[in-house]
Structure 1
């Protein structure tokens, strides 16, 4: 029993010695997270350095589907079961998950649109964006909508991913629910705390590589994850990255997880949207690596009064 505890402790210490990044937006833990030694060298920490000018980092082993999207999903999901699911596309390629919250808007993670946030006073940066709805496949089918506006939460902080929310508006109103069962919006929670004794269903887009003759389809997948203790999650990532406005979900022992490229995807509990994936492990084929979600209930008043409470990007 003592050996098992020591092994788990050792695994967690090694787990801390990693860098967390989403497509060129590096998030590095403070040195105090790594063995408590603020003077530890980069070599001692085994951390791969990146700069904001890079779009990827070298990892060992190399990137493959285990690092990119839902790992070990419970099943391939149907858009008719989850008609609120959407895909955020950059230059017509899958970039992030999103969820329909209004007839002309989806909610996603703000850091998925970091380029647009950095250049939010230049309207032309929305032209590379589009949203696909009504399809099980992020790369085909359904309807592809042109983006016209982006609303970032006014308290969004790129350095810590606090209030990591953005609302993306598109050029037309959708016909929801009645005529097309594959397109509808989801009700969202107004609760500030997500209970720890329950599970969420997370929805994300599968690997872009063909599996079982599926070719290049990027299919909708679902996985059920238990809520992870917040204090333990803060011990892993640090209190600057995980606050009371977040909750975490994941298994301690099972290799079942979501990946960084699932960012913006929804966490559903009892049919209600409770969270948007903020960040998770770049390596998602290992146990005890919880995903961090932004709690939707915290921003419910902002969503309800969006045009009064945010500055519209022009």
Structure 2
């Protein structure tokens, strides 16, 4: 996206990229504040990943978005280059899934707990028409194949891959797990991942959109996680983390008994 700092993980089968540091390829601009749960995760004012506000004090994102620097959650944003009156900026404490390993996508999920004063005091988001939470899927909810799902994020647009500072969205279609297994082999874990396809005409998610939402049938189902190195090649399906597989762990963390990093 706007800066050169990025994290890219490489597998033997294909070069897979955590979707950091650029964004939705093509797509369309989101109607201002029509996705009030969206979060921009930033370091020193630079957008690094997306996320979703799931409770007044927790944002859900991808574990590979964890950086050594202090990260700020920006809520209520449409144009991330501006200090809009609708925006809320809050520090966060990292809660990556304990079994996540850098360079792997199987457990690529993280909760961000909003804090103040060197992480010792809780800080809730102020819910209003610009900032709202999004509901989580049910534990046993099925995700059918061949349904359209929305993805959203801040990032590049058009054939020239120029950066877009405005939130954008597009659609991808769920595929059978076999489709991703054919492409990514054992790196694709059907129990924890969702496979989606896209077209060059409509575009799809790319580096920079990690941690953002995969919304199917108007319900949050996944966390944008990985693509092949060429994220705009429809031959290679995209991968998202299946949220429902991690609901028990999320509950523990949000009750104050989970791991912290």
**Normalising TM by the smaller chain, what interval?**
0.7 to 0.9
Match of 1:166 in 2: 110
| 2:138 corresponds to 1:138 | no
Give the counterpart of 2:11 among 25, 28, 37.
28
Q: TM-score, structure 2 length as denominator?
A: 0.82
1:114-193 matched pairs, under 5 angstroms? 115-116=67-68, 125=69, 128-140=70-82, 141=84, 142-171=86-115, 172-176=123-127, 180-191=128-139, 193=142
Equivalent-residue separation in structure 2 for 1:257 and 1:82 (angstroms)? 17
Match of 1:292 in 2: 239
| 2:252 corresponds to 1:305 | yes
| 2:181 corresponds to 1:234 | yes
Cα deviation, residue 310, structure 1: 2.0
Equivalent-residue separation in structure 1 for 2:103 and 2:202 (angstroms)? 29
Give the counterpart of 1:199 among 133, 142, 148.
148
Contact 2:179 2:195 in 1 (8 A): no
Cα deviation, residue 312, structure 1: 2.2
Match of 2:37 in 1: 84
Deviations 1:144-163 (A, max 9, x none): 42324111112212232221
Contact 1:208 1:218 in 2 (8 A): no
Equivalent-residue separation in structure 1 for 2:44 and 2:157 (angstroms)? 16
- Say if 1:208 and 1:200 are closer, same or farther in 2 by CA, change over 3 A: closer
Superposed CA RMSD: 2.7
Cα deviation, residue 291, structure 1: 1.2
- Say if 1:208 and 1:235 are closer, same or farther in 2 by CA, change over 3 A: closer
Equivalent-residue separation in structure 2 for 1:70 and 1:309 (angstroms)? 35
Equivalent-residue separation in structure 2 for 1:227 and 1:263 (angstroms)? 18
Larger radius of gyration: 1
Give the secondary structure class of the aligned counterpart of 1:24. coil
- Say if 1:288 and 1:254 are closer, same or farther in 2 by CA, change over 3 A: farther
Equivalent-residue separation in structure 2 for 1:305 and 1:287 (angstroms)? 38
Give the counterpart of 2:227 among 280, 293, 301.
280
Deviations 1:260-308 (A, max 9, x none): 2211111112332100011113323332322100001111122222145
Equivalent-residue separation in structure 2 for 1:27 and 1:251 (angstroms)? 22
Match of 1:72 in 2: 26
Structure whose residues are more often helix by fraction: 1
Q: Structure with the greater relative contact order (CA < 8 A, sep ≥ 6): 1 or 2?
A: 2
Match of 1:106 in 2: 59
Q: TM-score, structure 1 length as denominator?
A: 0.69
Give the secondary structure class of the aligned counterpart of 1:101. strand
Structure whose residues are more often strand by fraction: 2
User: Unmatched 5+ residue regions in structure 1?
Assistant: 1-21, 34-46, 48-55, 57-66, 117-124
